[in-house]
Amino acid sequence: MAAKTKKTESNGRRAVIVGGVRTPFIRAFGALMKMDSIALGTAAVKGLLERFPVPWNEIDSLVWGGTMLPGGIAVNAGREIVFDVGLPMSVESYTVTRACTTSILSTTLAVSAIERGDADVVIAGGSDSTSNVDVRLPATLVHKAAPTVMSAKSTPSDYLRLLGKLNVKKDLVPKRPSIRERTTGELMGESAEKMAERNEISREAQDAFAYQSHTRAAAAIASGRFAKEMIPVTTPDGVTIHTDNIVRGDTTIEKLAKLKPAFAQNGTLTAGNSSSFTDGGAALLLMEEQKARALGFEPLAAFRAWSYDAVDPWDQLLVGPAISMPRAAMKAGMTGDDIELWDIHEAFAAQVLSVVKMLGNDTFCRERLGLEKAFKKLAPEEINAHGGSVALGHPFAATGARLITTMANELKDTGKATALIGVCAGGALSSGLVMERV
Amino acid sequence: MSDVLLKIGKNNVARQMVKNLGLPVSLPQALKRAEGSWEERPLADLRVDAGHGPGSALAPVLARCLCAAGAYTHVAGTPEQFAFYTEHGHAWGRIAKEAKEDQAPEGCAPNALVFDATGMQSPADLVSMYRFFHARVRSLAACGRILVIGTTPSEIADVPASAAAQALEGFVRSVGKEIGKKGATANLVWVSPGAEDRLPPVVRFFLSRRPVFVSGQNLTLTTRVPAPENPSDVRPLDGKLALVTGAARGIGKETAKTLALEGAKVICMDRPGEEEPTALLAKEIQGTALSCDVTAPDAGEVIARHVKEHGGSLAVIIHNAGVTRDKMLVNMDEARWSSALQINLLSVLSLTDQLLPLMPKDGRIVCLSSIAGIAGNVGQTNYAASKAGIIGFVRALAPKAAEKGICVNAVAPGFIETQMTAAIPFTTREAGRRLSSLAQGGLPQDVAQVVCFLATPQASGVTGATLRICGQSLIGA
């Protein structure tokens, strides 16, 4: 509990990741259905603290992220997780949201706090339960009914009059929740379909990438590589879930090629080469480097630089990482050739391949980034060593923390020096993050 | 009074009925107008067919400009020219398709046809332009755009090449008349040697849904005024101070609003007696109100003082204040003559003189001329003289102002639906409306959009010009 009285000037402090875990990623309305975002977050944080036993009174803060939070008005999910885990009441907490980059944001906020001297030990992460999206009553019903229902003076005849005013189709049928962009009205997949067309990403290339994602993820599960970052979760029904259920190690290019387009009649995006609605949570333990060593932890990696950006949603909604990744590297004083590990969030195979194509496009990098030539010409095989969201699933606010954990472990395991993470997000947002081995 | 034919024309059933009954009425096409401030991608997802004539050199400039503006391009040209579109198409996610010069590409109707005629060596080369448009003009979408780009004829020493460049004007004016009933427009840009970098903003603007009432016109781009470094594609007037005279109503009001929408802090000036509407407008657009008569002896000083109170640098002047004092010449007393000349022309001269020292090096002056100044009008000897004088004024001042980096231009509106035109008797009004390629009146915002474009740093290629905003009116053409 050193946080509140720290001096705030820059003093050579460096934040490191000591460890990270995630719950199994389970397809929406599956085994984790009865756990909302807070329950999933609680499970992830509990698992983290079991795996990396830091004295609880050393924890200063919990920075959480969520995009589909339960319970209505401005729920501070992070604080609820503090209570549900049973952490000391003094653990300060807040909750952020930035679509699919949410837990990149919660992590860099925690890193900033540590490096600024505001905290020594912070838990960061995020969780989302697509199974528990609020199904709302139509606003028209609420607006029509409120004057009668809220008034103490309403008589039965007022209620009858109200019933007469209701329109079955408009007022009584709940709206199906969907991830349509509020501004463009497009489904995420429709935007990605447009990107596939705009960047000439073929169905074959998308399926080949999806195949790579599934086989690599399946291998990482089979080899035990993911065991070090996955914790089992026991559901309210008493069932314990040990592993992901979306990955299909037995898929083939032929099987993927048979799937029907999901977003457009003659489209190229299918359920096989897109990420699915997923339930899950992920948590990271972040500390000031000296503090980590003093507590007996061996740091995995540090955070060199990051960049948050935004592009035009009507143009290419999910192309942002092609801006953010080079910018983060530039802030770190690096070029594309300095990066050894690449991990790009796979919302859709078409979107990843579009980003990879732009990272390797001279004109794009000159016009949009002011670089002399392409940032890095990459083959799709060179990224995402252990697969990605297409195979694993994508609980929106947990994905960033999953990528950070996997890269932190990968830096440690391979002895390589630098990793670059890129994540696209709704609202045409993006982030890039450079991690380095400690 | 509102335009009944235009209203009927918006109704598809009525349109079909008029056609099927063979009524001798042609219904004008309702124009599609952009709303809000300049977009990062004004041509987002529009289809633009680009053609390159023999020896033309603008492929790199046009390819970047069109792809970055969000257009899907179909390109007729050499493989080398197409390569520029491929390069930029990939970078901007708008992959270009190759097309044949004399064959319209399959699929939907193009929203714009752009032809680069800069390399024409002789009038014989013009056949390439004929083939390009002949194959495509039928499929041009409603409210589409035609833009022909040539080399300034006076800058070409070679006689056949100069004749070919001049020929473009006749072509564009004629095709404008043929496509006007679709609500489509045709314009010509002559690029002087070295001014190629001034072209992209002009293309972005002229293909957009802003200059909807400009057709059959030509613009010459020169290097007389230096181009600004990295002008912003959106909110180009951010942080700039602009003066609009006669801002209380009509075109002046709409201009002030449009400038404010692009970020300018507008000094809304109008004469004493108009304080209330001027103040309301200033409040609405977060500008300032200035009550001052343009003919007052101390008007220059009053404005200068006001400008100094608000930063001291006046980036944009819009000379909009104007009056009509109509009478047949035989009946016109000298007071009417002098009043019109004083307000419409002499005050513009003297105010510009006094305010020029307050302008920064990318300053812009736009004056309101009128089609009456070009064509003349019964009962308007005074008004037409003053408005023709404006055309001479901008032409003469341009070279002097260019030394300071300032552009001076004028616009000449044709029939615009305002209080002034609503007061014209029905038959005369109806003639004014219909006797143009677009067969309808323009709106004050159509003028404001063009004035605003000329006020931006992007318009550095245009100076000394008078641009007509008349829907290609037959009068004075």
Encode pLDDT of B235-286 as tens digits: 999 999 999 999 999 999 999 999 999 999 999 999 999 999 999 999 999 9
Q: How confident is the model at residue A2 (pLDDT cuts 50, 70, 90)?
A: very low
Check the CA dihedral B202-B205-B210-B213 and report its sign.
Answer: positive
N- to C-terminal Cα separation, chain B: 26
Q: How many CB pairs under 8 A join A and B?
A: 39
The reply to whether B102 falls in a domain is yes
pLDDT digit string, tens, across residues B322-376:
999 999 999 999 999 999 999 999 999 999 999 999 999 999 999 999 999 999 9
Select the more confidently predicted residue: A370 or A69. A370
Contact with chain A for residue B33, Cβ under 8 A: no
> What are the backbone dihedrals phi and psi of residue A196, each rounded to the nearest 5 degrees, phi first?
-60, -40
A363/B93 Cβ within 8 A? no
Select the more confidently predicted residue: B209 or B377. B209
Pair (B212, B253) in one structural domain:
no
Could you give the dihedral angle defined by the CA atoms of residues A285, A290, A294 and A297, in that order, rounded to the nearest 10 degrees?
40
For chain B, give percent helix, strand, coil, nearest 5.
45, 15, 40
Q: Which CATH architecture has domain A3-132+277-294?
A: 3-Layer(aba) Sandwich (3.40)
Pair (B210, B175) in one structural domain:
yes
d(CA B183, CA B320): 27
The reply to whether B321 falls in a domain is yes
pLDDT digit string, tens, across residues A30-53:
999 999 999 999 999 999 999 999
Is the pLDDT at A8 greater than 50, yes or no? no
Is the pLDDT at A361 greater than 80, yes or no? yes
Q: Give the pLDDT score at B477.
A: 58
Are the C-beta atoms of residues B454 and B366 closer than 8 Å to each other?
yes
Least CA distance to B96: which residue of chain A? A198
Contact with chain A for residue B234, Cβ under 8 A: no
**What percentage of chain A reaches a pLDDT higher than 70?**
95
Is the pLDDT at B16 greater than 70, yes or no? yes
Q: How confident is the model at residue A76 (pLDDT cuts 50, 70, 90)?
A: very high
Pair (B180, B258) in one structural domain:
no
Of the CA atoms within 13 Å of residue A324, those in its CB half-sphere come to 29
Q: Give the pLDDT score at A9.
A: 42
Angstroms from B94 CA to nearest CA on chain A? 5
- Quick one: which of A312, A348, A320, A352 has its CA closest to B70? A312
As a whole number, mean pLDDT of residues A266-293 equals: 96
**What percentage of chain B reaches a pLDDT higher than 90?**
87
Residue that is last in its domain, among B166, B187, B221:
B221
The reply to whether B362 falls in a domain is yes
Q: How confident is the model at residue B476 (pLDDT cuts 50, 70, 90)?
A: low
As a whole number, mean pLDDT of residues A416-435 equals: 97
Supply the range of the domain harboring residue B256. Answer: 241-469
> What are the backbone dihedrals phi and psi of residue B468, each rounded to the nearest 5 degrees, phi first?
-85, 135
B41, B91, B94 ranked by CB distance to A367: nearest:
B91
Residue A223 burial class via C-beta count within 10 angstroms: exposed 0-12, middle 13-18, buried 19 and up = exposed
Place of tokens 């009865």: A34
Q: Show the tokens assigned to B465.
A: 């010009």
- Quick one: which of A272, A403, A422 has its CA closest to A339? A422
Active site residues of A: 100, 394, 424
Mutation target to probe the A interface, by most A beta carbons within 10 A, among B92, B97, B229, B234 is B92
CATH number of domain containing B53: 3.40.50.720
Contact with chain A for residue B41, Cβ under 8 A: yes
Task: Provide the number of structural domains found in chain B.
Answer: 2
Q: Give the pLDDT score at A73.
A: 61
Is the pLDDT at B31 greater than 90, yes or no? yes
Q: How confident is the model at residue A3 (pLDDT cuts 50, 70, 90)?
A: very low
Q: Give the pLDDT score at A178.
A: 66
Q: Give the pLDDT score at B25.
A: 67
Mutation target to probe the A interface, by most A beta carbons within 10 A, among B38, B45, B90 is B90
Mutation target to probe the B interface, by most B beta carbons within 10 A, among A183, A194, A315 is A315
As a whole number, mean pLDDT of residues B419-429 equals: 81
B41, B91, B95 ranked by CB distance to A315: nearest:
B41
Indicate if A188-224+246-263+304-437 has the same CATH topology as A3-132+277-294.
yes
Average pLDDT for chain A: 92
Pair (B200, B274) in one structural domain:
no
As a whole number, mean pLDDT of residues A213-229 equals: 96
A367/B93 Cβ within 8 A? no
Select the more confidently predicted residue: B16 or B301. B301
Average pLDDT for chain B: 94
CATH superfamily of A188-224+246-263+304-437: Thiolase/Chalcone synthase (3.40.47.10)
Pair (B175, B96) in one structural domain:
yes
The reply to whether B3 falls in a domain is no
- Quick one: which of A438, A364, A437, A431 has its CA closest to A107? A431
Highest-confidence segment of A130-134, B271-275, B423-427: B271-275
Q: Per DSSP, which regions of A66-218 are E strands?
A: 92-96, 121-129
The reply to whether B209 falls in a domain is yes
Identify the weakest region by mean pLDDT among A172-181, A374-383, B6-15, B180-189. Answer: A172-181
pLDDT digit string, tens, across residues A405-414:
999 999 999 9
The reply to whether B35 falls in a domain is no
As a whole number, mean pLDDT of residues A189-217 equals: 95
pLDDT digit string, tens, across residues A198-208:
999 999 999 99
B44/A319 Cβ within 8 A? no
Question: Tell me, what DSSP letter sits at residue A70?
Answer: S
Pair (B156, B250) in one structural domain:
no
Contact with chain B for residue A373, Cβ under 8 A: no
So where are chain A's domains?
3-132+277-294, 188-224+246-263+304-437
Pair (B197, B125) in one structural domain:
yes
Query: What is the value of pTM for the model shown?
Result: 0.87
- For strands B265-270 and B241-245, give the pairing: parallel
B95/A314 Cβ within 8 A? no
d(CA B370, CA B416): 11
As a whole number, mean pLDDT of residues B89-115 equals: 93
Q: Which chain B residues are within 8 Å of A195, Cβ to Cβ?
A: 93
pLDDT digit string, tens, across residues A301-357:
999 999 999 999 999 999 999 999 999 999 999 999 999 999 999 999 999 999 999
Contact with chain A for residue B88, Cβ under 8 A: yes
Pair (B358, B409) in one structural domain:
yes
Q: How confident is the model at residue A68 (pLDDT cuts 50, 70, 90)?
A: confident
- Quick one: which of B351, B241, B346 has its CA closest to B300? B351
Select the more confidently predicted residue: A71 or B41. B41
pLDDT digit string, tens, across residues B52-79:
999 999 999 999 999 999 999 999 999 9
d(CA B38, CA A92): 45
B440-473 as b/e, with b when 16 or more CB fall inside 10 Å?
bbbbbbbbbbbbbbbbbbbbbbbbbbbbbbbbbb
Is the pLDDT at B218 greater than 60, yes or no? yes
> What are the backbone dihedrals phi and psi of residue A278, each rounded to the nearest 5 degrees, phi first?
-140, 150
Is the pLDDT at B15 greater than 80, yes or no? no
The reply to whether B27 falls in a domain is no
Is the pLDDT at A135 greater than 90, yes or no? no
Is the pLDDT at A300 greater than 80, yes or no? yes
As a whole number, mean pLDDT of residues B395-406 equals: 96
Q: Give the pLDDT score at A5.
A: 37
Cβ–Cβ contacts within 10 Å for residue A61, how many?
24
Contact with chain B for residue A358, Cβ under 8 A: yes
The reply to whether B1 falls in a domain is no
Is the pLDDT at B24 greater than 80, yes or no? no
